[in-house]
Amino acid sequence: MFHWLEKHPFFFAVGVFLVIAFAGLVEILPNFAQASQPVVGTKPYTLLEMAGREVYIKNSCNACHSQLIRPFKAETDRYGHYSLSGEYAYDRPFLWGSKRIGPDLHRVGDYRTTDWHENHMKDPAGVVPGSIMPAYAWMFTNLADINTAYADQLTNAEFFNVPYNKPVPMKDGTTLTVPMAKSVAEANAMALEEAKAITADMKDKDVQDMVAAGKIPEIVALIAYLNSLK
């Protein structure tokens, strides 16, 4: 058979393809629908959080920080409850990372504050002596891309039925509705409101001035995202 295949390239290629495609079908498909169901308490990202998530991706934060707490005592002691599949239901793309040059961030919103992030992003080693993380000064001047984040939300709602403007169940038995803007103008106004809530806890004068003038620097969006990780 093999000799015959080696003289018939078409059938050879078909054979190779079948052999390599097999594993993917068996491994990936069976749990696909089930694995994408959210757990109670998981909510879609708000506009500013989404913009912050894009800042996180733009700077490859996931190259050094994981967002996956493994079910070991040492990990739950350090980072909180181990991660659950459904908590990632609205994560497109996933951001688990593959290397912890810095600590895990999956529940960083539980134990770090806006103020801490502000100082840390300006001068990591000043906040954590010995840190090898570089400073991210440009995030204090570059503007967050609210329009793209809005398009991201719209895509999530239109193509993947992510429940914006719909009540989602929370852990305490209540429901919560994450609103989504109806137009680009409304989206920018909504993001600015969210930004004001963040900058109320920030000290940087320039950032506060920018937000007061209607502009949202990347750092504000990033902090909104980090605070949402719980």
Partner 1 sequence: MENRPLEYDYTVAKMFMLTTVLLGAVGMLIGVILASEMAFPGVNTMLGSLGLNEFTNFSRLRPLHTDSVIFGFTLSGIFATWYYVGQRVLKVSMAESKLLMFLGKMHFFLYVLVVAAAVVSLFMGITSSKEYAEFEWPIDIAVVVVWVTWGLGIFGLIGIRRERSLYISIWYYIATFLGIAMLYLFNNMEIPTILATSPAGETGIGAWYHSVSMYSGTNDALVQWWYGHNAVAFGFTVPIVAMIYYFLPKESGQAVYSYKLSLLSFWGLMFVYLWAGGHHLLFSTVPDWMQTMGSVFSVVLILPSWGSAINMLLTMKGEWQQVATSPLIKFMVLASTFYMFSTLEGPIQAIKSVNAIAHFTDWIVGHVHDGTLGWVGFMIMAALFHMAPRVFKRELYSKSLMGTQFWIQTLGVVLYFTSMWIAGITQGMMWRAHDEYGNLAYSFIDTVTALHPYYTIRAVGGLLYLIGFFMFAYNIYKTMTSGRRVEESELQSASPMAA
Token look-up 């409304």 returns: 186
Which of 47, 149, 195, 229 is in the footprint of partner 1 by CB under 8 A? 149
Q: Least separation, in Å, of the C-beta of 166 and partner 1? A: 14
Query: What residues between 203 and 222 interact with partner 1 by CB under 8 A?
Result: none
Residue 166 lies near partner 1 (rule: CB under 8 A): no
Least distance (Å) between residue 20 CB and partner 1: 5
Residue 80 gets the label, from left (phi > 0), alpha (psi -120 to 50) or beta, of left
The DSSP H or E segment spanning 51 is: helix 47-58
Q: Hey, is 154 helix, strand or coil?
A: helix
Q: Is 173 in the site for partner 1 (CB under 8 A)?
A: no
Interface residue with partner 1, options 151, 169, 215, 228 (CB under 8 A) = 151
Residue placing its CB nearer to partner 1 in the complex, 85 or 200: 85
Q: Which amino acid is at 28?
A: I
Q: One symbol per residue from 105 to 144: x for binding partner 1 (CB under 8 A), - otherwise; what is it?
A: --------------------x--xxxxxxxxxxx---x--
**From the CB of 210, what's the least distance to partner 1, in Å?**
18
Interaction residues for partner 1, span 12-31 (CB under 8 A):
12-13, 16-17, 19-24, 27-28, 31
Question: Token pair of 48, please?
Answer: 């500013």
Q: How far is the CB of 159 from partner 1 (least distance, A)?
A: 5
Compute CA 151 distance to the chain's CA centroid, rounded to the nearest angstrom: 16
